[in-house]
Structure 1
């Protein structure tokens, strides 16, 4: 059996939409709120808030909140310089660094999400490797559903606990 690398994981999802639609979904507050977040707030290094349809930029900081969770559940991080054809790269709070690329695999358009630099203590393995991988499996599937004309699959009821 192959040993698990708890410091990183990759999730891939095939999409049948344009590269521009994918980029907009990942790099604008409105795009992120369409499939991923209840609130995506980005602030420039000068302290100005990005407009909802404005592309985020390197060194912007963010505050994110999810549907189905109270306001006390919030993530904060920073947009980092994309590398190697990435469309976005960001520090995902204490959970490491997340990057997203659009690739072509066997003539299919695929988003490839990498989360790396995950801390190696036992709590981080469960919360950031297992927990984040579960989330990053669901949310790109929701992105596919939303962008390909389907439904938004998120739980938007804070009183419905998904434990």
Structure 2
């Protein structure tokens, strides 16, 4: 039997923010740039770039740019599902898949993020499961900070990148 412990993980966060606002923070270029990315470009199937507040749809492709890195460091992928309300799924690093589900409980919006199909890496420093889990934990916390209090915790200074490696 194959050991799948290193192929997927799941994270959850609770937010004192309405579900619609959180969904838009994940499903529009402007929303993602508010808490996650320096620049989020999404392209429709005929390769039209989506407007800043336009919601992404299944089969869109994306090019993402990170704070702290130049334009040569990008993440490219595709939106696999986007129901417009409470679920997103997209391809991510190393051909892994990220699913994001939104629900409400006890007056809070709950976000569940699962990353699966993570390739195993023999070099521990390049372990995608560990690196992605650390990254998503930070970004889910930053989403909470930005949406609930307005404080962005990201390092946006390229000259400081080396001290975080």
Does the 8 Å CA contact 1:95/1:128 hold for their aligned counterparts?
no
Structure 1: gaps (5+ residues): none
Q: CA deviation at 1:93?
A: 3.6
Compute the TM-score of the two structures, normalised by the length of structure 1: 0.89
Compute the TM-score of the two structures, normalised by the length of structure 2: 0.88
How many aligned positions are there?
160
Partners in 2 of 1:125 and 1:55 — Cα distance? 35
1:157 aligned partner: 157
Instruction: Give 3-state SS (helix, strand or coil) of 2:137's partner.
Output: helix
Q: CA deviation at 1:104?
A: 3.8
Runs of 4+ in structure 1 over 2 Å off: 103-109, 120-127
Q: Please identify which structure carries the higher helix content.
A: 2
1:113 aligned partner: 113
2:43 aligned partner: 43
1:92 aligned partner: 92
Instruction: Give 3-state SS (helix, strand or coil) of 2:22's partner.
Output: helix
Does the 8 Å CA contact 1:118/1:124 hold for their aligned counterparts?
no
* Deviates further, 93-102 or 44-53: 93-102
Does the 8 Å CA contact 2:42/2:60 hold for their aligned counterparts?
yes
